[in-house]
Amino acid sequence: MAARVITVTSGKGGVGKTTMVANLGIALAVRGQRVVVIDADIGLRNLDVLLGLENRIVYDLVDVVEGRCRLRQAMVRDKRLSELFLLPAAQTRDKSAVQPEDMMRVCDSLRDQCDFVLVDSPAGIEQGFRYAVAPADEILIVTNPEVAAVRDADRIIGLVEAEEQGPTRLIINRIKPDMVRRGEMLDVPDVVELLAIDLIGIVPEDQDILVAANRGQPLAFSSDSSLAGRAFHNIARRLLGEDVPFLPLREPGVLERLFRFVRSEGD
Amino acid sequence: MGFLGRLLGRGEHSSGAVAKERLRLVLSHDRANISPALLDTLKDEIVTVISRHVPIDADGVEVTFSQNARETRLVADIPLSTRGGRYEK
């Protein structure tokens, strides 16, 4: 195996990076890929709770870096999906505990043990972002269709380009189709045109994301239940090289549903 | 923009369209690391330098950004003065 190391980052906080990593990790593992998700947000650990693995942590990333345990000992295996592992962040330390070379070393030693390493980057452009991006073969930028998030995403793209890293692809998260329809939200083509990088995913706003976080049971576990869940799976499929069309974000109208119903009855 | 567009708020003044236009400008400044104030200074100095050699219409000068994918260009549009055409000496 030669794992692909993919860092998920955004610049701005709160756009859905951690949710994205949790769901992409699951969607890839469901497809038989061996996946390690790394929480690189030292001091503000959250990937564990989103995945519902918070009670199983013994060691963390900083313990590995500082040699208090072996890498295997720090990895938490998800019992629901035997191919998914979490390398948690330390909660009582800060970003200065890890250097870019440390992350490169950790990721390099994972390369022959799995198919994908997904790194959940901290927000910001400081040390945490630097060490999260350092080991990346590919970068996924998560943004929301709002001015502050798009502006920060552009800054991140500039920094990544300056470091000559990438390829970099874009995920537009939390789009609200009804607001787009009313012209009260940036649309997907607007954001793609402004940022001028390739799009790999569009995820609609979905209340079930919060419910899933409440339970520690990410949406991607039940792929067909919601549009957002399907969107996560589609991104995973695109990462695996499948050509998957983007989901239509608009709910079909009454007439359209009636038409489809009549047509399917006729089959 | 038609009546329907206005009704649906999809015109150029809808907040989505405003967001896009504002972002376009902000990203240009961010990428080039050129503030609006610096752009004004550039414009003034361009006017000074060019008019030293050629008569120009200083009020009509526009210095803006143009974006092509992730490439940013500084574009100066400098109208030559119409007074004193080439047939008058």
Query: Distance between CA A8 and CA A118 in Å, rounded?
Result: 7
* A36-74 per-residue burial string, b: 16 or more CB within 10 A, e: under 16: bbbbbbbbebbbbebbbbbeebebbbbbbbeeeeebeeb
Query: Distance between CA B60 and CA B47 in Å, rounded?
Result: 10
Is the domain of B20 the same as that of B61? no
Interchain CB distance below 8 Å, A194 and B24? yes
Interchain CB distance below 8 Å, B26 and A194? no
Mean per-residue pLDDT, B63-67: 86
Is the domain of B43 the same as that of B79? yes
Is the domain of B16 the same as that of B59? no
Predicted confidence band of residue B67 (pLDDT cuts 50, 70, 90): confident
Mean per-residue pLDDT, A187-207: 96
User: What domains can you pick out in chain A, each with its CATH number?
Assistant: 4-266 (3.40.50.300)
Is the domain of B38 the same as that of B22? no
Is the domain of B17 the same as that of B58? no
Does ipTM exceed 0.90?
A: no
Q: How many angstroms away from the CA of A205 is the closest CA of chain B?
A: 17
Is the domain of B65 the same as that of B78? yes
Q: Which residues of B touch A180 (CB under 8 A)?
A: 16
Predicted confidence band of residue B1 (pLDDT cuts 50, 70, 90): very low
pLDDT in tens, A107-134: 999 999 999 999 999 999 999 999 999 9
Interchain CB distance below 8 Å, B19 and A147? yes
Instruction: Please name every residue paired with B64 in a beta bridge, in sequence order, or none if there are none.
Output: B75
- Radius of gyration over alpha carbons of chain A, in Å? 19
Q: Which residues of B touch A152 (CB under 8 A)?
A: none
* CA neighbor of A33 nearest in space, from A73, A77, A1, A72: A1
Of A20-24, A170-174, B44-48, the one with minimum mean pLDDT is B44-48
**Are A221 and A227 a contacting pair, CB within 8 Å?**
no
* A193-211 per-residue burial string, b: 16 or more CB within 10 A, e: under 16: ebbebebbbbbbbbeebee
- In this complex, the residue of B16, B22, B67 whose CB is nearest that of residue A184 is B16
Mean per-residue pLDDT, A167-176: 97
Total number of domains constituting chain B: 2
Q: Is B16 on the interface with A (CB under 8 A)?
A: yes
**Are A236 and A28 a contacting pair, CB within 8 Å?**
yes
| Chain center to CA of A43 | 19
Q: Is B23 on the interface with A (CB under 8 A)?
A: yes
Is the domain of B27 the same as that of B44? no
Exposure of B27 in the CB half-sphere (CA atoms within 13 A): 30
Is the domain of B48 the same as that of B29? no
Mean pLDDT, chain A, rounded, equals 93
The burial class, CB within 10 Å (0-12 / 13-18 / 19+), for A257 is: exposed
Query: Distance between CA A131 and CA A139 in Å, rounded?
Result: 13
Q: Is B6 on the interface with A (CB under 8 A)?
A: no
Q: Nearest chain A residue to B25 by CA: give it.
A: A194
| Chain center to CA of A231 | 12
Q: How many angstroms away from the CA of B24 is the closest CA of chain A?
A: 7
Is the domain of B38 the same as that of B11? no
- In this complex, the residue of A157, A161, A186 whose CB is nearest that of residue B20 is A186
Is pLDDT of B79 > 90?
Answer: yes
> What percent of chain B lies above the pLDDT cut of 70?
79
pLDDT at A202: 97
Q: How many angstroms away from the CA of A159 is the closest CA of chain B?
A: 10
**Are A186 and B20 a contacting pair, CB within 8 Å?**
yes
Mean per-residue pLDDT, B28-55: 91
> What percent of chain A lies above the pLDDT cut of 90?
87
Is the domain of B86 the same as that of B69? yes
Residue B58 belongs to domain spanning:
34-89
Q: Which residues contact B26 (CB under 8 A, 6 or more apart)?
A: A147, A151
Phi, psi of A208 (to 5 degrees): -65, -20
Residue A167: cis peptide before it, omega within 30 degrees of 0: yes
Query: Distance between CA A171 and CA A200 in Å, rounded?
Result: 6
Is the domain of B54 the same as that of B70? yes
Residue indicated by tokens 């793209």: A157
In the three-class reduction of DSSP (H, G, I as helix; E, B as strand; rest coil), residue B87 is classed as coil
Summary count for chain A: helices (H), strands (E): 12, 8
Is the domain of B54 the same as that of B79? yes
Q: Which residues of B touch A194 (CB under 8 A)?
A: 20, 23-24, 27
pLDDT in tens, A92-105: 999 999 999 999 99
Show the tokens assigned to B87: 């047939």
